Amino acid sequence: MTTLGKFPYCKKCNTWRVYGMLAVVLFALPFGTDALLGRGWVRIADFALLYIMLALGLNIVVGYAGLLDLGYVAFFAVGAYNYALLSSPQFGLHWPVWVVLPLGGLLACFFGVLLGAPTLRLRGDYLAIVTLGFGEIIRIFLNNLNAPINITNGPQGINMIDPIQSSGFSLGITHQIFGINVPSVHLYYYLFLCFTLLVIFVSLRLENSRIGRAWMAIREDEVAAEAMGINTRNIKLLAFAMGATFGGLSGGLFAGFQGFISPESFGLMESVMILCMVVLGGMGNIGGVILGGVLLVLLPEALRNGAGPVQQWLFGKTLVDPESLRMLLFGLALIVVMLVRPAGLWPSTQRRRELSDSDEDVVKQEQGSVYDASK
């Protein structure tokens, strides 16, 4: 405890006070959002938490280990279809959720190792092409796995998926808790929030561990890391496995929340959006990835709802289709942000320092070339 003016100041107490205020805000968020904006925005908040989990999983692969993965949505699909097949009338199975969710994470982990094993020597564009192909293979495979034996119901998808429930308590219906009616979307919000906090905790522990430092060493210089005794093969496989596990867990939650899934939900654009969340927020920084996930889920929905009314207010009619205008403005916002903040909106301290050092080197090179020309 230190003294600030005439009043004692405790940094630890102030930190806990901030955490307490944040906890209150997160707890009250669905009720405030429902009252001010409507229940549809609470559902959007649920999807934001799911995408934050996905982005944190991809951050392990891209942000920590420096391995470009354009097929990350494949693990999302594996977890979702695992839940759907084991908790729906498709096979007549209705397994408990606390068996299905871990099983989906383990299955996605297996596919992560399956993807990582043959790509250990690939880097850059070649790795991106292979992971992109893997993601499309999974989607096409699920889309065509309805003949000669119908397993995934093909492009029609799987419906009537059981909601997440345990011990007779189902999150798919409204419950009265302490005299307050809590709708289904609110219950899913609290469940997703708990899982998101768990993923954040695991990511923080991994970042500050020996494994996290090994990932960052590989990201900076794989040859030097191997020369220092790091088993790059196992460490890279572990990055793929950990990231895929988070993706599979999120997929299972998504299937239970939606009640219906189809291959269309796991296209290439989903992988691109998740990668944009990591890059836009700040690769390697957990806070930045969370910020990127929130913005890239909320911003398109805000533009979807506001593009039409704004045109009516300005011009008296709709000049451009709101959906097309939404994507145009969304893409323009991404371009502007990456030009102004190339390291992301909230980059890690190390990344910010690297960019400042590189800028100084560029300035020195330009000054040197001007000096040589003057001679």
Query: Nearest CA to 77 among 25, 11, 134, 27?
Result: 134
H or E element: which one contains 150? none
Residue 369 CB contacts under 8 Å (≥ 6 apart), including other chains: none
* 321 φ/ψ angles, rounded to the nearest 5 degrees: -55, 130
CA max distance for the chain: 84
Amino acid at 135: G
- The structure's pTM equals 0.90
Half-sphere exposure of residue 109, counting CA atoms within 13 Å on the CB side? 12
Amino acid at 209: S
Q: Where are the domains of the chain?
A: 1-36, 40-280
H or E element: which one contains 3? strand 2-4
Q: Which two tokens stand for residue 155?
A: 């492009």
Amino acid at 26: L
pLDDT per residue rounded down to tens, the chain (375 residues): 555 455 555 666 777 888 899 999 999 999 999 999 999 999 999 999 999 999 999 999 999 999 989 999 999 999 999 999 999 999 999 999 999 999 999 999 999 999 999 888 888 889 899 999 999 999 999 999 998 899 999 999 999 999 999 888 999 999 988 888 999 999 999 999 999 999 999 999 998 899 999 999 999 899 999 999 999 999 999 999 999 999 999 999 999 999 999 999 999 999 999 999 999 998 889 999 999 999 999 888 887 777 777 777 777 777 777 777 777 877 888 888 888 888 888 887 776 776 666 555 554 565 555 455 555
